[in-house]
Structure 1
């Protein structure tokens, strides 16, 4: 008996059942993609609002583009819409899971509010293998803060293996060794961190703690004294975070970013931002003062002077405008012209040690020794660890015949800055003069 036709009919029936089944029980549809978060425009700078809306429109036009979602998330994060940025950045990561930026920016968005989520986002960022050592070092530092020393040390060590001069990794390794009570290793790692402007203050502060634990109180006090005299550490560069900052628009955002660039000694990048801020917000004296400082930093003194004079004209009560105009004039050796601006700065802010110092310096240059001495003394009174003010004060005291007081000031200046060759020279000179004049 031939059965092939029966099999064929059975197959047709099976297909029909499958079709009917599909029609009766359809597969569950995929969830629709999220919508861009809604932002209330009330109170938002119009310039910022336009930027957000432009990027939202782009997402709505190309909803499957990870770059569109990511850029909207970056714009929102740049303008402090942190929770709203998370929806966009998570969608960008879903569409493009191998891009380090999307989990890293989610970590930045929640870093202040949710340490556990921050670490989870950073683990995914590190797993992509991109972004250089920045995400790894940030993850290591957060793990170290939470007592997960071994994992943190492995991340720091990997960064050091790639770049033996990485002082941030060296500082982290020192902190991990301190957690194991390995003080010898601490000291070795700190040697790699104590001279880098990005880590030296933290390294000397930590060194004081190590010396204290070792029981060496004089060494601890010396390290603490050096740490206090050092300026704040320069922020560690973060190219990924800088991409967020570059998206800032609006007055507050631009000026804040420009101030950060100046702190990192990158005035050439701050100048166009500040020029744009002044064009968009002509009444912003803050932007004007920062622009004057930026032109000063790149050595364009004439432009810096013009900008700062306008800042002083518009808002004479602005301490920084008075001070930096004085600096620009003194840099041009117009010492007498600079004095009124430094004097006005200390009248507005009596504890402004640097303004007192500059006032003393300018008076000294034009031969007004009494005024200079008073200003240097005021600088020391405002900041007892102001080594340069002490050295200048000591020099003037010696010229006035106050040898003991002069020697005391110079010794303290050298304790604060042991490598100050000028203070050392003055000290030796006054000592010789004192021995020569003393009765035998």
Structure 2
């Protein structure tokens, strides 16, 4: 079977799908072509593989990119993402740290390392990394949302609500975001505001059972409170 080189495969939309699919072995870059293949092109191919849920093949491409340029911060960051998906956490951490060392203002690398730390239960480390990402890019909606999750996991609901609100301010719009903001407000006894956020979540996804249950709980609690105060005033 003939091994094709990248220069013979400039097919507008089909290259990435073929490279990451069942015929993936055909599209590995031959050693003789590495010198003529740019690291950025290899990283792009790796990114396409990640989008198609093929982290194993993505690792191959990112590794080839770094063989050509070991100082390529984006390659280290993206290799970290692929390794993290494969559960190779220690290796992923090393590549995130190398990306940050090479590019100290690489906010995505801080955010990605934070997400990994949060999954490991290191809420303090995750919070620090998300804050670093936001210090570099204050309008980073995803980092605001994820920092909110980390803060809420540590029972810091007031701060969590502020970052959820910032995520909304910078363009994030998901049922989960509205629901989590509602929970953070509920934890502060801001019941009316919490109910509004649960309703917004349901506007986006009427079948969102968690938001519906949360809204029902808030409305039930409000009704019980009103009945209690009414009885006290009789």
Report 1:11-410 matches (<5 A).
71=4, 75-78=6-9, 108=11, 237-238=17-18, 246-247=28-29, 249-410=37-198
Partners of 1:318 and 1:300 lie apart in 2 by: 22
Contact 1:77–1:244 (8 Å) recurs in 2: no
The offset of 1:390, in angstroms, is 1.2
Deviations 1:107-148 (A, max 9, x none): x36x8xxxxxxxxxxxxxxxxxxxxxx9xxxxxxxxxxxxxx
How far is 1:255 from its partner? 0.6
Q: Partner residue of 1:436?
A: 224
Residues 305 and 329 in structure 1, CA contact (< 8 A), matched pair in contact too: no
1:204-258 deviation digits (Å, cap 9, x = unpaired): xxxxxxxxxxxxxxxxxxxxxxxxxxxxxxxx94459968854483312211100
CA distance in 2, matches of 1:286, 1:292: 10
* TM-score in terms of structure 2 length: 0.83
CA contact (8 A) 1:274 1:290 kept: yes
**Structure 1: 5+ residue runs without aligned partners?**
1-66, 81-107, 112-133, 135-235
Partners of 2:169 and 2:65 in 1: how far apart?
38
Task: Work out which of the two has the higher radius of gyration on C-alpha atoms and give 1 or 2.
Answer: 1
1:308-357 residue CA offsets vs partner (Å, 9 max, x unmatched): 11211221201111110101110101011111111111222222221111
Aligned length: 220
TM-score of the aligned structures, taking structure 1 as reference length = 0.46
The Cα of 1:76 is off from its aligned counterpart by 2.2
SS at match of 1:438: helix
- Note the C-alpha offset of 1:400: 2.0
Q: Which runs of 5+ in 2 are unaligned?
A: none
After superposing the two structures, state which structure 1 stretch, 321-330 or 391-400, moved more.
391-400
Is the 8 Å Cα contact of residues 157 and 187 (structure 2) preserved in structure 1?
no
Work out which structure has the larger RCO, using CA pairs closer than 8 Å and 6 or more positions apart in sequence: 2
